[in-house]
Amino acid sequence: MKDKFDVIVVGAGPAGSMAARFAAEQGVSVLMLEKDRDVGYPVRCGEAISKKGVEEFIQLDEKWIASKISKFSLISPDGTESLIEFGESGYILDRKIFDYELAKSAANCGAQILTRAYVNGLLLEDNVVAGVKYEYQGEQKELKSKIVIGADGVESRIGRWAGLETFTDFRNMECCVQVTASNIKVDSNTLYFYFGKNVAPGGYFWVFPKSGYSANIGLGISGMEGKKRSALYYLNSFMEKNFPDAPILTSVAGGVPSTITLKRISIPGMVLAGDAARQVNPLSGGGISSGMIGGSIAGRIAGESIKMNKPDHILTYEKVS
């Protein structure tokens, strides 16, 4: 591996992979670092995306489409159901495969990828970000780069290290738990949303069907509500009431920053993308397509900036994203 890259992307989720791809497409050298051993796993996500949000970035492929969505069912606290039909307008993804394919598309454009690489600091030169410090196979290492793209998710710390104020107020954090359960007999083309203070206060409960009578089931509650009861408490009570015998295949927690995008997401030598920049739809908590859009713009601008040899060009990112 080289000891210097034009662009280093931290995090290999949808935003990171798009940033890596759009930068690499311009012929600059790109390395994407991922702290986990696998790209795409664990899946901390409801996995729903609109058709429009996904088509822009990757050719549809049955292998990562778990179900095709044409209806929304909104269920009020007293159980009243409103069914809205759209026609085929979205998908439930198999994110494990989807993220993997996105990372592969970045690799196919020339980006290098390193997993199990935990970024724990930034290199600064005259107060300008000039690379990353990271731990790899038990060793502390450093890598220089002209631009760092922080796509390190809800737990992003990279912006703070560069001097940006990036933490999310706990009241704006949607605290989520989800399971993949089987033996769930629901319509496989409908997204089910449950609302109410006994179900998911300050958020909503979702049942998103996947293939073969399995479903992604979960909820988010606001951090404010978490003062009283945890998301896990609400998940357990919903499952007991509605799907008491459903075998649970996976069980994951996660956080969704339900807030407006950060005021500053670029600083000399670094830009943020995806959840790290809080590029999330604050109403739905959806962040896959907005993260990919943010990542693609970040990658493109980083590539342009290097090709033009104009470091300040990356500061235009805030205006276009």
Structure token pair of residue 281: 């739809």
Q: Around 164, how many Cα atoms within 13 Å sit in the side-chain half-sphere?
A: 27
Q: Which residue has the tokens 């805030």?
A: 318
Residues that bind another protein (CB under 8 A): 35-37, 44, 116, 118, 120, 135, 153-157, 160, 167-170, 173, 175-177, 223-224, 226-227, 230-233, 252-255, 257
Residue 242, Cβ neighbours under 10 Å: how many?
13
- Cα distance between residue 173 and residue 275, in whole Å: 11
Find the shortest distance in angstroms from Cβ 107 to another protein: 21
**Closer residue to another protein in complex, CB, 169/187:** 169
Find the shortest distance in angstroms from Cβ 78 to another protein: 26
**Closer residue to another protein in complex, CB, 161/192:** 161
End-to-end CA distance of the chain: 32
**Closer residue to another protein in complex, CB, 86/233:** 233
Find the shortest distance in angstroms from Cβ 108 to another protein: 26
Question: CA nearest 52: which of 89, 78, 79, 23?
Answer: 89
Residue 256: beta bridge partners?
174
Residue 149 class from Cβ within 10 Å (0-12 exposed, 13-18 middle, 19+ buried)? buried
**Closer residue to another protein in complex, CB, 73/251:** 251
Find the shortest distance in angstroms from Cβ 183 to another protein: 23
Identify residue 265 by its one-letter amino acid code: I
102: DSSP letter: H
Find the shortest distance in angstroms from Cβ 268 to another protein: 21
**Closer residue to another protein in complex, CB, 79/138:** 138
**Closer residue to another protein in complex, CB, 54/276:** 276
Which residues, in sequence order, are CB contacts of 10 under 8 Å at separation 6+? 16, 32, 33, 119, 132, 148, 149, 150, 151, 152, 158
Question: CA nearest 170: which of 255, 82, 71, 292?
Answer: 255
Identify residue 208 by its one-letter amino acid code: F
Find the shortest distance in angstroms from Cβ 121 to another protein: 11
Residue 298, Cβ neighbours under 10 Å: how many?
36
Find the shortest distance in angstroms from Cβ 205 to another protein: 13
**Closer residue to another protein in complex, CB, 90/220:** 220
